[in-house]
Structure 1
Amino acid sequence: MVRLSVNLNKIATLRNARGGNIPDLLQVAIDVQKFGCQGITIHPRPDGRHITYKDVYDINSVITTEFNIEGNPSEKFMKLVMDIKPSQVTLVPDSDNAITSDSGWNTFLYQDFLTDKIRKLKNHGIRTSIFLDPNPELVSYAAKTGADSIELYTGYFSVGYSENKWNSINPYIETAKIIVKNKMFIHAGHDLNLDNIYFLIEKIPNISEVSIGHALICESIYMGLENTIQSYLKRIHKARIKKNDTIF
């Protein structure tokens, strides 16, 4: 099974653009779970430009599936997630002023740092994931931190997909093989959409979770939120059961 986790950051961005409570973030959180997604992802940033820290507490009260909180493990962030105790925390090395996450951890340089953070999260019963570029050499260092999974940063794949989808997927295939050898789960996220999601999962069927926000919310403007989520679920299922030309 490949879980679809819907990132709600863009819903909060739209709400914050005018103030007030339109769209209602909590209602959207309730609805996307009702429409079939298997999880909700949020990424609160220090400036609160989309998901605020208050939103994290509010959303936690309506979670019926998996709750994944992403972020750079600052002291403030760690305090938040250890208080909330979500299903999963995904550690992302973005700066405070980053527009969006654009790279993964250098796990060679940050192995000790990540090991310390992950130990604290696990002491609170929280499953952990590390955001990583498609680089096989970094996987072994990630495994030594004690993380349960690696979320592959798929921005490079998504950019290269339209030009040469095979060139864009090959680094991810090689990295995925090493992740499996290290007995970790494979997640994927960033710039995935209805156009490229099938190919990614068809070629790397061991992916257990995808986190999709920006494209999904944009596509729902034309297709409707429920129909968009169902379209993702159908494509994920179809790709997952296809056996030809897969790596495992």
Structure 2
Amino acid sequence: MGRYFDVEFDEDFIRELKDTLAYMVNPVTIDFFIDDASKCETCEDAYKLMKTIADASPVRQGKKMIELRVFSKSRPEDLEEFKRQNVERVPTVAMLGGAIRYTGTPAGEEVRGLIETIMRISENESGLEPGTKKSLASLKGAVHIEVVVTPSCPYCPYAALLANMFAYEAWKQGNPKVIADTVEAYENMDIAEKYGVMSVPAIALNGVMSFIGVPYEEDFINYVAAASEGKIEELVLKTEGEASGL
């Protein structure tokens, strides 16, 4: 596999990273799942990225505000954590016990969305509308959001951040029914091909392609609610029919 992103970070990037993370309020734990380099071509670069982010976080009371925990498929003692967070692919970056995850390397443009996700978790605020928060607190069934992205896509971080905040808000309200999974297309081409992705961001809900582009929050919560009730296919077909004038 060729390299689709740059892991050599210049001084300006490091400075901006430190300036942003300096405003962290509460510590954030990031779980990073990898394998040996011989079995995972992008794990080393992904580790460089995640370590750079963690190292740039401020120190409070003698500890870094970002705790980076690394789990490897090659270490038998780590396999239970893979199972607990239902991680099957590497590299994977996870937060909140797997409620938020990046399957593949969150590089390029995706770094912005990842940093904003860390900041909002640290600040204990999703930034979602009150009505959205209420709906997420009352979801009945599980919803798996897959946001298919590429490192060069400028709009993808916004879609990923929205999905992440849905998962975070549901988790925060004690109703962890939502998993937000940002999937890097080049490292997971089988997933992109499964959904027939031709442009990004592309968003699937419980295995049903539901959005191309960044959805409005009010539309997204309606689709997520439908997915939680097992009605997402019906809603997608209805919307496509209306769009085509049928």
Same fold by TM-score, threshold 0.5 exceeded? no
Larger Rg: 2
Determine which structure has the larger helix proportion and give its number.
1
**TM, length-normalised to structure 2:** 0.29
**TM, length-normalised to structure 1:** 0.28
